[in-house]
Amino acid sequence: MSYQAPLKDMLFVMNELANLQGVSQLPGCEDASPETAEAVLEESAKFVAGEIAPLNHAGDKEPSYWKDGNVFTSKGFKEAFKQFAEAGWQGLQHPADFGGQGLPKLVGTPCVEMLHGANLAFALVALLSDGAIEALLTAGSDEMKATYLEPLVTGKWTGTMNLTEPQAGSDLAAVRSRAVPQDDGTYKIFGTKIFITYGEHDMAENIIHLVLARTPNAPEGVKGISLFIVPKFMVNADGSLGARNDAHCVSIEHKLGIKASPTAVLQFGDNGGAIGTLVGEENRGLEYMFIMMNAARFGVGMQGIGLSENAYQQAVAFAKDRVQSRDLAGSAGPVSIIHHPDVRRLLMNMRSQTEAARALAYVGASLYDAAHHHADAATRAENQAVYEYLVPIIKGWSTELSQDVARDGVQVHGGMGFIEETGAAQHYRDAKILTIYEGTTAIQANDLVGRKTVRDGGKVAKGLIAQVRATEAELAKLDGADFAAIRKHLAQGAADLEAVVDYVAGNMKTDIKAVFAGSVTYLKLAGIVLGGWQMARAAVISQQKLDAGSSDASFYQAKIVTARFFADHFLAQSSGMRTAIIDGSAGVLALSEDQF
């Protein structure tokens, strides 16, 4: 069975948890009524199931390859991207002025999720273009916008992000690529960039590289980095393509996963210098690059969720189909393995984490829309602050859990899971990149600790915890063991998260290493508590639907069960995590280097 977008769950989250109705009433979002949103999702689901998902396993088996400086992508990718572009999917969230559809992030996000769920390697090309578009919208000149945006938004061209160099991975201060100013106002770019996703390919007419480099006499470190547009083909005044630029792909990597997506080593300036144009002002490159990265980080979080959903669907299908051993409670013959309790546990692990991460991400998207479109400036700022707190969690937590989910998915398949033909192993391999690129989980956690928690003394975090407590109060009004368990573990989770936020905010100045020794665990704890909060909200709403006599009782009952599972199996870990964060730094830091 191939990937099918979980439309019902997506719409439930959008409508019931992420306030689609409210978003559609924001200025500029009026076209995004719940009905329109549903129609868009249905169309997207049909497209990805029909055109994109079938290329996923095939692309893994026959990856893109390099020959004489050119990269040939996996069979069908070129045609599929053409269809993707022509149907307008690249432009879904981008401004109508440049050929986009201008839909809110809340409506675009499920479409992004399903594209990634269907085919991570394919979807990356769109994710990178999204980042380039964001950066040009924010920092590009009018001329740049006029030249580059429409072809990018319509998928005629694609974009890349060129940060990493062999000596400069997470540490952009170490970037050494050079930009030498020319008399005509352009720059000549020299240097080597590595790990450039879709840095070269055959799916679009042109590739717009956004490249970090240093101008002569620029300050050292991150304050001396500028951002340049370096197109693969120069663009003439009329928009037609000109000469080939001096930016060449010298090899692509042999990777653990996402094999269909070419990861390029790009050489700039080996033949006299690649022609680049400065974006915005000199030495502000990092700031602009962060615009791309923040969009991309949210997108990578969606990759984790999409991949998890795909792995879950595949595991469920196998568990229903594979007959093996008798039912524990006694049966005449062997049963499908979905009857076995540990298979259930694995499937519920997968399902509940995927749902929790999805709900948190869509709530994040809704905050983003309010931050960008709300009429009131103070409300915009408030929503922006909460959104920014959530971005590292959506990126870091959703991708870490996707590796657990993919691993559980292989396990459900038993021996068949280890055979590549089955496809479960591909998810396990593909998922591993998600906690690494666009900033490792540790980098996300640095951001969560430094910019998002310490800077405001934990104010935004505490505001979220107060909202969690409001949900606890609603849970208290409901009867039954499920709600009691959810409430108990959510309350403890909130208390643990609050203690950790206080610890982080309070100890940064006195014991920075201890705080950072617990940063990733803090990020995961925040994910579990805030994701668990969404699960609890879903359970409360589901009970209301049931009480109102919904005709879809099975769906809403399942929501309550899944929230209960998440509470007992994930929220219940919160106190152990608090210990690891607050007491556990001693063990992290005590050894000297030579004791390793």
For residue 292, state whether it binds a second copy (rule: CB under 8 A): no
Closest to a second copy by CB, 476 vs 589, is: 589
Angle of helix 105-118 relative to helix 120-139, nearest 10 degrees, comes to 150
Question: Whole-angstrom distance between the N-terminal and C-terminal Cα of the chain?
Answer: 47
| 20, 44, 154, 287 from 149: Cα distances, Å | 28, 23, 8, 20
Closest to a second copy by CB, 90 vs 261, is: 261
131's tokens: 């980042």
Which residue(s) pair with 241 in the sheet? Answer: 235
Closest CA relative to residue 13, chosen from 535, 582, 401: 535
Angle of helix 574-582 relative to helix 481-507, nearest 10 degrees, comes to 10
- Check if 438 is active-site: yes
Q: Minimum Å distance from CB 590 to a second copy?
A: 4
Q: Minimum Å distance from CB 331 to a second copy?
A: 12
| 340, 573, 587 from 344: Cα distances, Å | 6, 20, 36
- Binding flags for a second copy, 116-155, as an x/- string (CB under 8 A): ----------------------------------------
For residue 568, state whether it binds a second copy (rule: CB under 8 A): yes
The half-sphere exposure of 516 on its side-chain side, counting CA atoms within 13 A, is 14
Token look-up 């590796």 returns 403
Report the distance separating Cα 120 and Cα 10, nearest Å: 19
Q: Minimum Å distance from CB 225 to a second copy?
A: 15
Angle of helix 285-321 relative to helix 341-373, nearest 10 degrees, comes to 150
For residue 344, state whether it binds a second copy (rule: CB under 8 A): yes
Judged by CB under 8 A, the chain residues 477 through 496 that form the site for a second copy are 481-482, 485, 489
Do residues 514 and 440 make contact, with C-beta atoms less than 8 angstroms apart? Answer: no
Single residue of 36, 251, 467, 557 touching a second copy by CB under 8 A: 557
For residue 318, state whether it binds a second copy (rule: CB under 8 A): no
Cβ-based burial of 341 (10 A; exposed 0-12, middle 13-18, buried ≥19) = exposed
Q: Minimum Å distance from CB 415 to a second copy?
A: 5
SS3 195: strand
Do residues 553 and 524 make contact, with C-beta atoms less than 8 angstroms apart? Answer: no
Judged by CB under 8 A, the chain residues 494 through 533 that form the site for a second copy are 512-514, 516-517, 519-521
Closest to a second copy by CB, 63 vs 155, is: 63
Judged by CB under 8 A, the chain residues 51 through 90 that form the site for a second copy are none
Closest to a second copy by CB, 417 vs 527, is: 417
Stretch touching a second copy by CB under 8 A, among 101-109, 265-273, 289-297, 404-412: 404-412
Single residue of 354, 435, 453, 542 touching a second copy by CB under 8 A: 435
Stretch touching a second copy by CB under 8 A, among 46-54, 204-212, 248-256, 266-274: 248-256
Do residues 54 and 2 make contact, with C-beta atoms less than 8 angstroms apart? Answer: yes
Stretch touching a second copy by CB under 8 A, among 132-140, 180-188, 298-306, 579-587: 579-587
For residue 427, state whether it binds a second copy (rule: CB under 8 A): no
Stretch touching a second copy by CB under 8 A, among 137-145, 182-190, 541-549, 552-560: 552-560
Q: Minimum Å distance from CB 432 to a second copy?
A: 6
SS3 180: strand
Report the distance separating Cα 444 and Cα 460, nearest Å: 17
Closest to a second copy by CB, 63 vs 191, is: 63
Q: Minimum Å distance from CB 283 to a second copy?
A: 19
Token look-up 């290493």 returns 513
Single residue of 74, 411, 534, 542 touching a second copy by CB under 8 A: 411
Single residue of 205, 342, 547, 552 touching a second copy by CB under 8 A: 342
Judged by CB under 8 A, the chain residues 188 through 227 that form the site for a second copy are 194-195
Do residues 358 and 10 make contact, with C-beta atoms less than 8 angstroms apart? Answer: yes
Q: Minimum Å distance from CB 556 to a second copy?
A: 11
Single residue of 141, 146, 290, 418 touching a second copy by CB under 8 A: 418
Closest CA relative to residue 71, chosen from 209, 257, 265, 270: 265
Which residue(s) pair with 189 in the sheet? Answer: 179, 274
Closest CA relative to residue 210, chosen from 154, 271, 156, 129: 129
Q: Minimum Å distance from CB 175 to a second copy?
A: 12
Phi, psi of 583 (to 5 degrees): -95, -20
Single residue of 46, 223, 244, 345 touching a second copy by CB under 8 A: 345
For residue 420, state whether it binds a second copy (rule: CB under 8 A): yes
Which residue(s) pair with 244 in the sheet? Answer: 233
Single residue of 1, 39, 96, 419 touching a second copy by CB under 8 A: 419
Single residue of 334, 376, 451, 459 touching a second copy by CB under 8 A: 334
Judged by CB under 8 A, the chain residues 160 through 189 that form the site for a second copy are 164, 167, 169-171, 173-174
| Total site size for a second copy, rule CB under 8 A | 104
Report the distance separating Cα 212 and Cα 293, nearest Å: 13
Closest to a second copy by CB, 33 vs 440, is: 440
Cβ-based burial of 172 (10 A; exposed 0-12, middle 13-18, buried ≥19) = middle
For residue 586, state whether it binds a second copy (rule: CB under 8 A): yes
For residue 561, state whether it binds a second copy (rule: CB under 8 A): yes
Judged by CB under 8 A, the chain residues 253 through 272 that form the site for a second copy are 253-257
Question: ∠ CA(120), CA(122), CA(128), 5° rounding?
Answer: 90
Given 165, 438, 472, 498, which residue is catalytic?
A: 438
Single residue of 26, 316, 365, 390 touching a second copy by CB under 8 A: 316
- Binding flags for a second copy, 2-41, as an x/- string (CB under 8 A): ----------------------------------------
Q: Which residues contact 355 (CB under 8 A, 6 or more apart)?
A: 9, 535, 538, 562, 566
Single residue of 437, 483, 503, 533 touching a second copy by CB under 8 A: 437
Q: Minimum Å distance from CB 558 to a second copy?
A: 5
Q: Minimum Å distance from CB 119 to a second copy?
A: 18
SS3 522: helix
Sign of CA dihedral 12, 18, 19, 25: negative
Report the distance separating Cα 109 and Cα 112, nearest Å: 5
Active site residues: 438
